[in-house]
Chains A and B, each alone.
Chain A
């Protein structure tokens, strides 16, 4: 008998072992749900959540080379950047878009000034308006880590599978890098706050424009996926001229069924159809592009952010009836090992607006700008905060064609409630094998995703007493509030 056949049998020992672990797992899951239920009760005791707030995650999939997104411009630091970066990826100092407020350059705590990638003029505008905060050298951390610690005790200090795409994506989105992923941090926020914030909400608190994601996975609140054209529904000619088949199907699903599983399935399906119809009806008034005073770009990320704006427009009591919402959108293509600056004609040019990285950052900048203007048009500019995230940044030196997987990155938080026009965190020493480098320009982060998540969650309404349940590793870091949310 071959080994496969042998493996297909389960021994009594294995069966008992698995049964015992399953039992423990179910007990743990029950315990988690109970804990979040208790937190909801605690939130309810503090009174109803009033007013509207939304968080939008814009994920740059593949690992954005943030070393070229925000570049130091003071002479000494720029020279360090130019020396280490190398000719291919180096942006000329004169081409960088200075980050000024009121016409004056803004400095970080160490006195550095900065410029943006030449593609990102719209972000530059928002920064000058005080609506953008820049986070320097942020990434997934198990605990605060120095280079000495990184080298001396890898298993204690390094996030598991550091530098791998899927693990770093997961760790950014769970904010618990040293544990197996079960929920995303926004999913846990929804678990805590949904019951008190959206007691009569007509739609899920967590909506994704980019399919399933880890960020919004919760124990109680399920993420709802929407296309850039709206909810996918059963309609059209196949469903009969007047959707008679849909009506017939829903009538059948409404019939009581003795089988509990069938009954539950029917209810879920019926609810999905109803939610899809409600969603599409509720956003119909914003279908015309002329609705928006500032046009959205027609790119994928532009379309995703336009749909988020349309969903936010429909937040009111007569439609979705939501006080808190979390959205997820995503743009891919940032894994630029090669052709990072190659143009459509095959020319390597960091300043070409058809280069791969230039094009991606341009799309992001344009989409964020249009979205922010849309929020201002809707009167919710102070209530909606967008943040960028990515797998990791990339190696600082070029590999002759692009850059490879890095770690600490630079990101933006955008919105009217943001304490913007400022830099948060500390620029790493831009020296290969320097004090902040694990090797080949992969910076050890000095801001953690946990701190970033806690700052946003607090603004969103999660009580301080619940932070340790939301972000179990937060207490390892010196501050739980980075200060970028007012």
Chain B
């Protein structure tokens, strides 16, 4: 009985010690200089520049913080086309009306567009690895979160991906806002409407 108590006490003390040690480790991880950019509001509060992400994926293009800031201007988008089935006014994106069915192109996925969606998926994965879950919300909210508006001020939206419309939504190369289907904390589907600018059709480009 006495021995059992001793063992139990020993396990408890060990658990507390390990917890403290892990806590210290996580604190030092969070504070480690993963990039040259300072945490917002800490070392360089005046700059307000977001921190670049800590990532082990060499393919993930992460620009320097100043490049991210410079890329905030939306790139050119296609001219609007007549909408067959308009979204509610609050949901309309000026650059993303769908093409009429007869004008929709064949489902050929251009490689750059596919690469862009996949790069976006990788960056969301990096975000998830850092924060323990996917960013949540609608397109504009996810963009804000990915673009430094998170607890660590870390940026996950490099300039080559950062194409925004006037509502702060991330759009594909045809001007349609990406659709982020949030399935769980670890699963998210990123969907481009493709050349026909209509979601859930055969030319959609999807990555997760």
Choose one: A16, A87, A338, A440; the contact of B14 (CB below 8 Å).
Answer: A16
Inter-subunit contact B134/A161 (CB<8 Å): yes
List chain B residues, Cβ under 8 A from A164.
Answer: 134, 136, 182-185, 187-188
Tally of B interface residues using CB under 8 Å? 34
Complex Cα spacing A348 to B15, Å: 60
A439 at interface (Cβ–Cβ under 8 A)? yes
Q: A161-B134, A164-B134, A400-B98 are in contact. Are A86 and B89 (CB under 8 A)?
A: yes
List chain A residues, Cβ under 8 A from B15.
Answer: 20-21, 23-24
B91 at interface (Cβ–Cβ under 8 A)? yes
How many Å from the CB of B35 to the closest CB on chain A?
A: 22
Fill in one digit per residue for A339-359: 1 if any B CB lies within 8 Å of its CB, else 0.
Answer: 100000000100000000000
Most chain A beta-carbon contacts within 10 A, residue among B11, B15, B89, B91: B91
Interface residues of B in 107-148 (CB under 8 A from A): 133-134, 136-138, 140-141
B81 at interface (Cβ–Cβ under 8 A)? no
B83 at interface (Cβ–Cβ under 8 A)? yes
Inter-subunit contact B89/A397 (CB<8 Å): yes
Inter-subunit contact A399/B184 (CB<8 Å): no
List chain A residues, Cβ under 8 A from B12.
Answer: 24
Fill in one digit per residue for B75-112: 1 if any A CB lies within 8 Å of its CB, else 0.
Answer: 00000000101111111000000100000000000000
Fill in one digit per residue for B2-18: 1 if any A CB lies within 8 Å of its CB, else 0.
Answer: 00000000011011001
A167 at interface (Cβ–Cβ under 8 A)? yes
A160 at interface (Cβ–Cβ under 8 A)? yes
Inter-subunit contact A399/B87 (CB<8 Å): yes
Inter-subunit contact A161/B185 (CB<8 Å): yes
List chain B residues, Cβ under 8 A from A23.
Answer: 11, 15
Interface residues of A in 412-445 (CB under 8 A from B): 432-433, 438-441
Inter-subunit contact B91/A440 (CB<8 Å): yes
List chain B residues, Cβ under 8 A from A325.
Answer: none
Inter-subunit contact B182/A161 (CB<8 Å): yes
Inter-subunit contact A401/B199 (CB<8 Å): yes
Complex Cα spacing A17 to B200, Å: 47
Q: Using C-beta atoms within 8 Å of the partner chain, give the interface range for chain A.
A: 35 or more
B24 at interface (Cβ–Cβ under 8 A)? no
How many Å from the CB of A89 to the closest CB on chain B?
A: 8
Inter-subunit contact A86/B133 (CB<8 Å): no
The residue of chain A having its C-beta at the shortest distance from the C-beta of B188 within the complex is A164
Interface residues of B in 14-53 (CB under 8 A from A): 14-15, 18, 22
Q: A20-B18, A86-B89 are in contact. Are A439 and B137 (CB under 8 A)?
A: yes
Inter-subunit contact A165/B85 (CB<8 Å): no
Complex Cα spacing A86 to B199, Å: 18
The residue of chain A having its C-beta at the shortest distance from the C-beta of B21 within the complex is A17
Choose one: A88, A433, A439; the contact of B85 (CB below 8 Å).
Answer: A88
Complex Cα spacing A20 to B14, Å: 7
How many Å from the CB of A87 to the closest CB on chain B?
A: 7
Complex Cα spacing A335 to B87, Å: 18
Inter-subunit contact B11/A404 (CB<8 Å): no
List chain A residues, Cβ under 8 A from B85.
Answer: 88, 348, 400-401
Inter-subunit contact A20/B11 (CB<8 Å): yes
Complex Cα spacing A20 to B85, Å: 59
Inter-subunit contact A439/B182 (CB<8 Å): no
The residue of chain B having its C-beta at the shortest distance from the C-beta of A348 within the complex is B85
Complex Cα spacing A84 to B91, Å: 10
How many Å from the CB of B19 to the closest CB on chain A?
A: 8
How many Å from the CB of A170 to the closest CB on chain B?
A: 9
Inter-subunit contact A163/B136 (CB<8 Å): yes
List chain A residues, Cβ under 8 A from B152.
Answer: none
Inter-subunit contact B88/A85 (CB<8 Å): yes
A143 at interface (Cβ–Cβ under 8 A)? no
List chain A residues, Cβ under 8 A from B18.
Answer: 16-17, 20-21
Inter-subunit contact A338/B199 (CB<8 Å): yes
Inter-subunit contact B91/A398 (CB<8 Å): yes
Inter-subunit contact B90/A167 (CB<8 Å): no
List chain A residues, Cβ under 8 A from B174.
Answer: none
Choose one: B14, B22, B136; the contact of A161 (CB below 8 Å).
Answer: B136
Complex Cα spacing A366 to B52, Å: 54
Inter-subunit contact A338/B87 (CB<8 Å): no
List chain A residues, Cβ under 8 A from B22.
Answer: 17
Q: A161-B185, A164-B183 are in contact. Are A397 and B138 (CB under 8 A)?
A: no
List chain A residues, Cβ under 8 A from B187.
Answer: 164, 166
Inter-subunit contact B184/A397 (CB<8 Å): no
Choose one: A337, A348, A397; the contact of B200 (CB below 8 Å).
Answer: A337
List chain A residues, Cβ under 8 A from B188.
Answer: 164
B70 at interface (Cβ–Cβ under 8 A)? no
How many Å from the CB of A163 to the closest CB on chain B?
A: 5
Inter-subunit contact B89/A166 (CB<8 Å): no
The residue of chain A having its C-beta at the shortest distance from the C-beta of B140 within the complex is A439
Fill in one digit per residue for A1-33: 1 if any B CB lies within 8 Å of its CB, else 0.
Answer: 000000000000000110011011000000000
List chain A residues, Cβ under 8 A from B208.
Answer: none
28 pairs of residues in contact across A and B, judged by CB atoms under 8 Å: A16-B18, A20-B11, A20-B14, A21-B15, A23-B15, A84-B88, A86-B86, A86-B88, A161-B133, A162-B137, A163-B182, A164-B182, A164-B188, A165-B183, A165-B184, A166-B185, A167-B184, A337-B199, A348-B85, A395-B138, A398-B88, A399-B87, A400-B85, A400-B86, A400-B98, A404-B138, A404-B179, A440-B138
Q: Which 10 A-B pairs have the closest CB atoms?
A: A397-B88, A86-B88, A166-B184, A164-B182, A400-B87, A20-B15, A338-B200, A432-B90, A397-B91, A397-B90
- Which of B's residues lie within 8 Å of A, judged by CB? 11-12, 14-15, 18, 22, 83, 85-91, 98, 133-134, 136-138, 140-141, 151, 179, 181-185, 187-188, 198-200
- Beyond A86-B89, A398-B88, 5 additional contacts (C-beta under 8 Å) are A88-B85, A397-B91, A399-B199, A400-B98, A404-B179
